[in-house]
Structure 1
Amino acid sequence: MRAVICGAGIAGLALAGRLHNVLGWDVVVLEKAPKPRTEGYMIDFFGPGYDAAEAMGMLPWLEELGYPVSEAAFLDDQGRCRARLDYDRFARTLNGRLLSIMRPDLELALRERLSFAVGLRFGVGPARIDPSAYGIRVTLTDGTVLDADLLIGADGLHSTVRAMVFGEEQRCLRYLGYHTAAFTFDDPYVHAELGNRFCLTDTAERQMGLYALRDGTVAAFAVHRSADPRRPDDARSALYREYGSLGWLVPRALAACPPSAQVYYDQVAQTDLPCWSRGRVVLVGDACQAVSLLAGQGASLAIAGAYILADQLAGTRRVEDALHGYERLWRPVIRDRQRAARRTARWFVPETARRLRVRRAALRFAGLPVASRLAGTSLAGKQRPPLRQLAAVPTS
């Protein structure tokens, strides 16, 4: 069996590894970007993706790449801490099954685990998708033609495969009213000030977070409210415009912000499709299951979804039955996380000073043992069957 995977992000790489290493498939991974993405932000990696990484034998490597974050601290314009969330306490609510890791580092770990037999091609993507005697014929942007038994769209929130097979983007995305950005910069003073804390501005309508990286640089993460879903032409200028009024270390971060080409910038949205597969074409990761950064666990859910899909393909004779089984098992999990994100969106970046004060009080309350357990349960989502149990459910 042969699979063509469009997208060399977390979902695509995780699925490529499972299909080749476990199922013995011939796999080609296509990525339209000219090289691996280095822009990204720190993620809290827990939940079903943590379970999948453990089952795949990846945890020791991810632990080496992880960061020992002591707390998330919310600071005002003078650098005074107004609220904090203790990471050790949060980790205990998850039975210690939590990692803080840069998203590009997670991609690196998945990419380096790929066999040399997996074809990984950068700077190319699908130009045309047609049925064929094998199942699917994909004509690439460089003129190459590939025949495959299965085409997987793992090409993110703005998926080309989804647009070509399932319909135009505006019909598939639910905009949540935010823009987000991430970049890295060099400033020894800021690096020393941060230590091993994840520091965020305690501000309404917009928020910037900073954390020190092991190579001596600093990573910045930003999110702000916006009624317009369109992304700006110049990301760097947009960051100055939206965050230029903030104090503390933000002016230094903006002054060191790299050119727009080196800044990750996107809208905050969820994907909402009536179905995840059509014939021998299926979507994974943010292409079909984006929960948004408001829900967290995006990377975790991407790996777990890939794990479930590979398991269904391993246990089912007909490819189409496996695709339907994957969606039947995994869509309820995604729907739950998407609903949770929409419920809590107004507290992610409070709209007013009053809501900001309420969030401070809630974070102080979260420091209490009972509240910490409640917070952990809320972040982890509704209790559902463990990943291994989901992977063992037959399609018929």
Structure 2
Amino acid sequence: MHVVVCGAGIAGLTLALQLHRQGTDVTVVEAAPGPRTEGWMLDFFGPGHAAAARMGLLPRLQELSRPVEELVWAGARGRPRARVPWARFAAALDGQLLSLLRPDLERALREQVAGRVTVRHGRRVVGFADGPGPLRVHLDDGTALEADLLVGADGLRSRVRTAAFGPVPLRLLGMHTAAFAVEDAALHAALGRRLWLTDTLDRMLGLYALEGARVAVFTVHRTPAPAPPADARAQLRAVFAGLGGLVPAVLARCPPPERIYCDVVAQVEPPRWSTGRVVLAGDACHAVSLVAGQGASLAVAGAAELARQLGTAPDLPTALAGYERTWRPVAAARQRAGRDGLEWFLPSRRTTLWARRAGLRLLAVPGAERLLLRGLLGGPDPPGGALPGGRRTGPDRGRGRGAEPALEAPVGRLPRGRGRHTA
């Protein structure tokens, strides 16, 4: 069996690794010219953590994890409103929590597939023909790959999804998010090993220290705009003007728009995850958004479940049906939890802001952190009984400029253009 995976992100690499271990021939096609080095912090726990343990990845992920000692929420003037030791969150999850940069998670997976799986960087899938005989996957260099299965692991705006099912509209959640990095030794020293967040209405800015004097910045704010702005820096400076504390230093050093990741906050819910010999994985079929979090965790665990079904089912249709039947309820529960928690995640009313502060103070009560986290996670348990998890502290995406509008293409023909995990 030969499987072509479109996208060398977390879901694509996880699937490639597990299929290789099952004796399947895998080719990964990725539009980016090489591995991504930019990316943002994510909290990795729940089903992805459990799957990584079964895959033998935890020792390496623990080596790559970034220590966080405390979360601090600061008011509009920069004064701390709540402080929570990171150890309380870890204790609530029985220590099964890692803080990782997204590129480090991809790095650990890439190390496992190196020399075992063919990864073709700088190549894009432009179409496929799923007729009699082998499935033919066409690349932008004019070549074609023959395969038994094509997997679209190419992100929120998946072109494989569009080609297979036609346009699937995004569910916009009324927010924009942005992420970038600045160089500031004083700001870096002030942060230490803390994750610093604004505790403000309709807008939130978060900071954490990287290597050297670099500081990662992520933001989210409410807006009805259906697409990201042409000038992300101008928007951020306008939205976050007037906040105190560490915010003015960040805005003063905000990089030019082409160095800022900026996008809408959205989910995607295609009517089906597979058709014929084409199937979707990761954000291509179950993007949960940064509000719900745990996109990376679901990507790892969902890809592992797809590999398991392919390795155990008697035939391909049974495997693909079993994968969607098993994993869609888990992803759908996290998507619903994210939508239901919009007001808590980013308050638009002062009463919610005050209630959230009270909830954070409850974390000082022994045992309360476990109840609060389980209430936030919600939903059915995935296979193996692990809680759905992997909540992010910021956009777990790499660097890029803005988002593309929904793309339309005839079934079986992929549109051209950029994309986060487009290949």
Superposed CA offset, 1:154-178 (max 9, x none): 01111111111112142xx211111
Structure 2 counterpart SS, 1:369: coil
Residues 261 and 144 of structure 1, relative CA distance in 2, 3 Å threshold:
farther
CA contact (8 A) 1:44 1:297 kept: yes
Shift of 1:37: 3.0
In structure 1, which of residues 311, 333, 336 is the aligned counterpart of residue 308 of structure 2? 311
In 1, Cα distance between equivalents of 2:250 and 2:229: 19
Distance 1:383 1:162 in 2: 26
Asked if 1:238 corresponds to 2:235, the answer is yes
Partner of 1:8 in structure 2? 8
Tell me the alpha carbon deviations over residues 210-240 of structure 1, each in whole angstroms, 9 at most, x when there is no partner.
0011343111111111111212223333322
The 1:235/1:31 distance shift into structure 2, 3 A limit, reads: farther
Pairwise mapping of residues 245-264 of structure 1 onto structure 2 (< 5 A)? Answer: 245-264=242-261
State the one-letter code of the partner of 1:211: Y
One-letter identity of the residue aligned with 1:94: L
**TM-superposed deviation, 1:389:** 9.5
Distance in 1 separating the partners of 2:173 and 2:364? 29
Deviation of 1:53 after TM superposition, in Å, equals 0.5
**CA separation in 1, counterparts of 2:297 and 2:191?**
26
Q: How does 1:99-114 map to 2 (within 5 A)?
A: 99-114=98-113
What do residues 315-365 of structure 1 show as CA deviations (whole Å, max 9, x unaligned)? 023112101100111111111111111111111111133322222112112
Cα offset, 1:83, TM superposition: 1.2
Task: Specify the alignment match of 1:81 in structure 2.
Answer: 80
Contact 1:70/1:88 (CA < 8 Å) preserved in 2?
Answer: yes
Q: CA deviation at 1:304?
A: 0.1
Which whole-Å CA distance do the structure 2 matches of 1:197 and 1:11 have between them?
Answer: 29
Taking every aligned residue pair, what percent have the same amino acid on both sides? 53
List aligned pairs for 1:82-161, cutoff 5 A. 82-161=81-160
Q: Is the 8 A contact 1:39 1:262 kept in 2?
A: no
Q: Which residue matches 2:47? A: 48
- The TM-score normalised by the length of structure 2 is 0.87
AA matched with 1:265:
C
Rounded Cα–Cα distance in structure 2 between residues aligned with 1:136 and 1:316: 20
Kept in 2, the 8 Å contact 1:206–1:349? The answer is yes
- Say if 1:218 and 1:233 are closer, same or farther in 2 by CA, change over 3 A: same
Asked if structure 2 preserves the Cα contact closer than 8 Å seen for 1:135 and 1:280, the reply is no
CA 370–117 in structure 1, closer or farther in 2 if over 3 Å, else same: closer
Q: Which AA in structure 2 matches 1:155?
A: D
Equivalent pair of 1:39/1:183 in contact (CA under 8 Å): no
Q: In structure 2, how many angstroms separate the alpha carbons of the residues matched to 1:383 and 1:332?
A: 7
Hey, what's the Cα distance between the residues in 2 that align with 1:216 and 1:4? 40
Q: Note the aligned Cα RMSD (angstroms).
A: 1.9
C-alpha separation between the residues in 1 aligned to 2:74 and 2:366? Answer: 23
**Corresponding position: 1:195 with 2:192:** yes
Structure 2 residue matching 1:387: 3-state secondary structure: coil
Aligned to 2:23: 24
Alignment partner, residue 394 of structure 1: none
Structure 2 residue runs without a partner (length 5+): 388-423
Question: Residue 57 of structure 1 aligns with which residue?
Answer: 56
**Shift in CA distance, 299/385, structure 1 to aligned 2, threshold 3 Å:** closer
Distance (whole Å) between structure 2 residues aligned to residue 380 and residue 352 of structure 1 = 23
Deviation of 1:110 (Å): 1.3
Stretches of structure 1 that go unaligned for 5 or more consecutive residues are 391-396
Give the distance between the partners of 1:389 and 1:40, measured in 2 at CA. Answer: 26
Counterparts of 2:382 and 2:310, CA distance in 1? 20
- With a CA cutoff of 8 Å and minimum separation of 6, indicate the structure with the bigger relative contact order: 2
Match of 2:360 in 1: 363
Residue-by-residue CA offset, 1:73-120 (whole Å, 9 max, x unaligned): 111244321012332111111111001111121112111221323221
Inter-partner Cα distance in structure 2 for 1:213 and 1:261: 21
Match of 1:296 in 2: 293
SS at match of 1:95: coil
**CA distance in 2: counterparts of 1:142 and 1:209, whole angstroms:** 41
